[in-house]
Amino acid sequence: MSPLNILTISHFYEAHGGGIERVAGHLCRQFARLGATPQWAASASDALPDDDLNPIALRCADPLEKLTGLPMPLPGPRAICALKNAVRNSDAVVIHDALYVTSILGMIMAKRYGKPAILIQHIAAIPFRSPVLRLLMQLANRVVTRPMLRAADVRVFISDTVRHDLLGTPARYPYKLLFNGVDSAIFYPPAPSETRQNPQAKYDLPPCARRILFVGRYVEKKGLSILRTLAAARPECQFVLAGNGPLRPAEWRLSNVYDLGVLAPVALAELYRCADLLLLPAVGEGYPLVIQEAMACGLPVICGAPAHRADPDAASWLRGVDIDLNDPQRSAQLCSEAIDTYELTPCEREAMMRYARERYSWQTMAQEIVMLARNAGKRQGKAGRQ
């Protein structure tokens, strides 16, 4: 069986700090381990991957992220030409999320050159605080996301809530539910001798009553306004943030908030092992990778309700909260109540860790996608001969 040349298209590379980019990187590396030839096309605004993933850096502008918190790289003429050549020379195209301009162009080009298109959909609607942005998001899903899903040869969802929101129940089109993986060599529980109250000195975090961790982009939809309100109301708790973005936690001027910036996976895993819980008061999420990583490390998770329902088999270990960006005070109060009442027993922690390490596998996810791509290519070949 000849190796596949798989082109992955995402809006950014991993250095940008978002979950979708991290998923794309993990899958590209697994494609290579499975014997495929990976290529990865994304905006050239960040550092390129440092391993042999054959990056195709696209010159893009991104004027909308600072205004809306929604990244939207806009490729120039040379970038469009480079993307076209990459699609034409590929055997299959893996597109991460429908709404990005590079994703739309990749789908159009895949159809033009007869290449199987696998669309991995991570999110559905984002309930922005602004009514204008909410309306634009609804229109975008109606005008772009749903047609992209119809056009895809293979539809992959990383969250059952996203699948339900976009395809309905029962689903209007065939699909595959594939959860993101977890690198169990990095994300594992603390040894019995370790304690969550005494992190390594390199983080320079003083002792505290509760250490609450947030990991993600510093943008509106991740619930930064709720984190700020909550941190102000709970000075006895320590709020440790790992990420970056247009919003600046340092501007909150709260002594119990620590911004550590973007961390490498090993450092991030250390934080999971020294925190008391992961708090992700986000909206418009599918199933953020950080939730699955925290589960593998035995860290309790409080998150927005849609992410809580993303994997029905894991929901009993997570605490879901109804988040409303238009009412950060009420949302922060609900998060505060969850912090005080949510606790996993040792047996529940052990079951959660075992489930995450056994169920969430990058290798399994990549194998499924390669198989789906091959089958889609065979179907196209048969259709072309008829």
Dist CA 133 CA 139 (whole Å): 10
Residues contacting residue 172 through CB under 8 Å, at least 6 positions apart: none
Tokens of 297: 């490390």
Q: Is 299 exposed, middle or buried (0-12, 13-18, 19+ CB in 10 A)?
A: buried
Distance in angstroms between the alpha carbons of the first and the last residue of the chain? 23
pTM: 0.87
pLDDT at position 214: 98
Element (H, E) at 55: strand 55-58
Conformation bin of residue 216: beta by default, left when phi > 0, alpha when psi is -120 to 50: left
Q: Which of 52, 46, 57 is CA-nearest to residue 28?
A: 52
State whether residue 192 is helix, strand or coil. coil
Dist CA 64 CA 71 (whole Å): 6
Q: Give me the tens of pLDDT residue by residue for the chain, a chain 386 residues long.
A: 678 999 999 999 998 878 899 999 999 999 999 999 999 999 998 889 888 889 999 999 888 776 666 778 999 999 999 999 999 999 999 999 999 999 999 999 999 999 999 999 998 888 888 888 888 888 989 999 999 999 999 999 999 999 999 999 999 999 999 999 999 999 999 887 655 545 545 677 888 889 999 999 998 899 999 999 999 999 999 999 999 988 999 999 999 999 999 898 999 999 999 899 999 999 988 899 999 999 999 999 999 998 999 999 999 999 999 999 999 999 999 999 999 999 999 999 999 999 999 999 999 999 999 999 999 988 876 665 55
Dist CA 80 CA 92 (whole Å): 18
Tokens of 237: 């708790």
Tokens of 100: 């990005």
Q: Which domains, from first to last, does the chain contain?
A: 5-181+361-385 (3.40.50.2000), 201-359 (3.40.50.2000)
Tokens of 62: 């991104």
Angle between helices 328-341 and 224-233 (to 10 degrees): 60
Q: Order of strands across the sheet with 176-177?
A: 55-58, 37-43, 5-9, 92-96, 117-121, 154-157, 176-177
Task: Answer yes or no: are the C-beta atoms of 317 and 296 closer than 8 Å.
Answer: no
Tokens of 371: 């198989």
pLDDT at position 165: 92
Name the one residue in this structure whose structure tokens are 């008391």.
276
Tokens of 187: 């994300």
- For the stretch 178-192, what's the b/e string if a residue is b when 16 or more beta carbons lie within 10 angstroms of its beta carbon? bbbbbbeebbbbbee
- Bridge-based pairing of strands 92-96 and 74-75 is unpaired
Kindly list the distances between the CA atom of residue 308 and the CA atoms of 178, 272, 304, 323, in Å, as whole numbers in the listed order. 16, 18, 6, 12
Tokens of 255: 């002594």
Give the E-state strand segments of 112-185 in sequence order: 117-121, 154-157, 176-177
